[in-house]
Chain A
Amino acid sequence: MKARVHVMLKTGVLDPQGEAVRHALGALGFDGVNGVRQGKVIELDLAEADRARAEATVAAMCEKLLANTVIESYRVEIL
């Protein structure tokens, strides 16, 4: 079973990289970009075949390592 984890900076946490990308888009003439937030996507290939168990395990992985919940939020997708 495959899982995909989306890690984003929490709302309210300033994202300097996203801001830089927004400025660069403006410089390229792409007007009307009000905000850019940059995150990461982590794909996992799991031995687990049970969907619910896989989801719970990946959530535990996020809490322990994949995300820093002080500044980041995460979303788990089981594929």
Chain B
Amino acid sequence: MKAAVLVFPGSNCDRDMAVALRLAGADVTMVWHKDAGLPKGVDLVAVPGGFSFGDYLRCGAIAAQSPVSQALVDHANRGGYVLGVCNGFQVLTETRLLPGALMRNAGLKFLCKSVTLNVATTDSAFTGGYRAGQEISVPIAHHDGNYFVDDETLARLKGEDRIAFTYGQNPNGSMADIAGVLSDNRRVLGMMPHPERAVEAAQGGTDGMALFRGLMGVLATA
């Protein structure tokens, strides 16, 4: 599996993401936001967490206009896999690759703690390594993770089984306890919790590893 990790000014989970992908066996290239293209033959593009462009205007809004983001959108439109975590999820909603928007946490506080997630669907390369309904522990670290979609889109997400993860106890006011959603072709996942921060025992848990192994299982031959 060839993976690219995008790096924006203010990204701060890019190297953690690369470590997690390499642990799963991926060949990882870091790609700077001013690069107009992705390395040839990339299977997965990971958009990492952080505070791209200082969260100016709206979280992820400026990054979504970076040259590399056009390459990201083209990659997704060709049927390529994309994983956006935290600020990466915000970037994916701003590029409209995923529906909805991430708003300020309902309690207004920056939240940094481990939370329990429910695996809401196993029907994707990202979640196929989990059991349906499995509870996993993954850290969150965000100020703007309050997922909003209009009622019609929410009904569609539910109907099409595109909610990937839900929170056991809603920490941020997200609609329908949503922690992560899939695109209609199920190849783009955006999630606020950080699976790349739960891949080694030293991090306090390894529940995130099945996500990267699952991806590797689907994309290993590439």
Contacts and interface: CB of A to CB of B under 8 A. Distances in A.
Interface string A2-23: 0000000000011011001000
Nearest to A17: B104
A70 B106 CA distance: 18
Contacts of A71: 101, 103, 148
Contacts, number: 35
Give the most central of A13, A14, A66: most B CB within 10 Å: A14
Contacts of B106: 14, 16
B104 A70 contact: no
Please report whether the interface of chain A is mostly helix, strand, loop or mixed according to DSSP: helix
B100 interface: yes
Interface string B125-160: 000000000000000000000101110000000000
Interface residues of B, number: 20
Contacts of A70: 93, 99-101, 148-150
A16 B57 contact: no
A17 B108 contact: yes
The bracket for how many chain A residues form the interface is 10 to 19
Interface of B: 57-58, 61, 65, 93-94, 99-101, 103-108, 146, 148-150, 173
Given A14-B103, A68-B101, A70-B93, 20 more contacts: A13-B103, A16-B103, A16-B104, A16-B106, A16-B107, A16-B108, A16-B146, A16-B173, A17-B108, A20-B108, A64-B65, A65-B57, A65-B61, A68-B61, A68-B94, A70-B99, A70-B148, A71-B101, A71-B103, A71-B148
